[in-house]
């Protein structure tokens, strides 16, 4: 089973947006997908609740007493996680996933929080490089701004404990398309291509990585 964890302990980073769009992408590819909502705010579950029955089915799973009840036959599990995650729960999530995608928004506060979190993450012996593959995404970016350029520079230069660069996948703009899609239980991949061409283009590096062996531990 392919397992993808969307994680950033800072609230407001757009984890649910990434989780729902990734889940929809794989469902459109014909995969049996489960979207696990581990966040008490239940944003992903709310998204599924308004998803049209005519669209590709995405199963749901919620966290109960630190356990996920994943439907049989699931081929892709996407986990949407809460803000303020504890070290104990973080370790458990990391142990369940092959891949972690970390969205970071363009603000000095969020960049400093991301730096502290990654330092702590890298200190978890054996987690990075061996057990899980990690990449970052600049999310909700207002293009052509100074803070966006600073975020891109920061994410492009993060290094793993072994000296290699942590993969920085892409910058996703702050677009009304994500809001319009979420209101209807859809992803940008299910809206008119003519209206979402630029957004889809920004997703390509991340999707190529998720579909490659580079995002799966050996």
Strand order in the sheet with 58-64: 67-68, 58-64, 33-37, 76-80, 2-6, 99-105, 133-141, 168-173
Structure tokens belonging to residue 125: 């012996």
- Alpha-carbon span 158 to 151, nearest angstrom: 11
133-141 vs 168-173, strand pairing mode? parallel
- Alpha-carbon span 153 to 195, nearest angstrom: 29
- Give the CA distances from residue 85 to residues 30, 135, 193, in Å, rounded to whole numbers and listed in that order: 32, 19, 36
Instruction: Kindly report the pTM of this predicted structure.
Output: 0.94
> What is the pLDDT confidence band of residue 78, given thresholds at 50, 70 and 90?
very high
pLDDT of 3 above 70: yes
Q: Residue 128: what pLDDT? A: 56
Distance from the first to the final alpha carbon of the chain: 14
pLDDT of 67 above 90: no
- Alpha-carbon span 74 to 176, nearest angstrom: 31
Report the candidate in 154, 155, 110, 149 with the shortest Cα–Cα distance to residue 135. Answer: 155
Report the candidate in 164, 175, 215, 181 with the shortest Cα–Cα distance to residue 198. Answer: 175
Beta strands in 66-201 (DSSP E): 67-68, 76-80, 99-105, 133-141, 168-173
pLDDT of 129 above 60: no
Q: Residue 192: what pLDDT? A: 96
pLDDT in tens, 91-124: 888 888 999 999 999 999 999 999 998 988 887 7
All structural domains of the chain, each given as residue ranges with its CATH number in brackets, are 2-208 (3.40.50.300)
Residues 6+ apart with CB under 8 A from 122: 128, 160, 161
What is the H or E stretch that residue 180 is in? helix 176-183
Q: Please, what is the average pLDDT of the chain? A: 92
């Amino acid at each position: 089973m392919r397992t993808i964890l969307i994680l950033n302990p800072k609230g407001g980073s757009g984890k649910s947006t990434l989780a729902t769009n990734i889940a929809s992408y794989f469902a459109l590819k014909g995969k049996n997908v489960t979207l696990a909502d581990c966040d008490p705010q239940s944003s992903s579950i709310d998204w599924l609740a308004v998803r049209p029955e005519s669209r590709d089915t995405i199963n749901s799973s919620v966290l109960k007493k630190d356990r996920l009840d994943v439907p049989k036959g699931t081929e892709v599990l996407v986990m949407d996680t809460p803000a303020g995650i504890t070290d104990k729960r973080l370790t458990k999530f990391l142990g369940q996933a092959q891949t972690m995608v970390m969205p970071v928004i363009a603000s000095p506060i969020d960049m400093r929080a991301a730096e502290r979190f990654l330092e702590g993450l890298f200190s978890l012996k054996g987690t990075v490089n061996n057990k899980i593959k990690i990449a970052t995404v600049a999310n909700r970016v207002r293009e052509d701004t100074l803070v966006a350029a600073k975020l891109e520079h920061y994410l492009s230069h993060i290094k793993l404990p072994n000296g290699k660069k942590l993969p920085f996948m892409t910058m996703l703009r702050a677009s009304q398309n994500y809001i319009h899609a979420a209101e209807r239980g859809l992803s940008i991949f299910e809206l008119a291509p003519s209206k979402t061409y630029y957004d889809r283009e920004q997703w390509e590096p991340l999707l190529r990585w998720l579909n490659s062996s580079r995002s799966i531990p050996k």
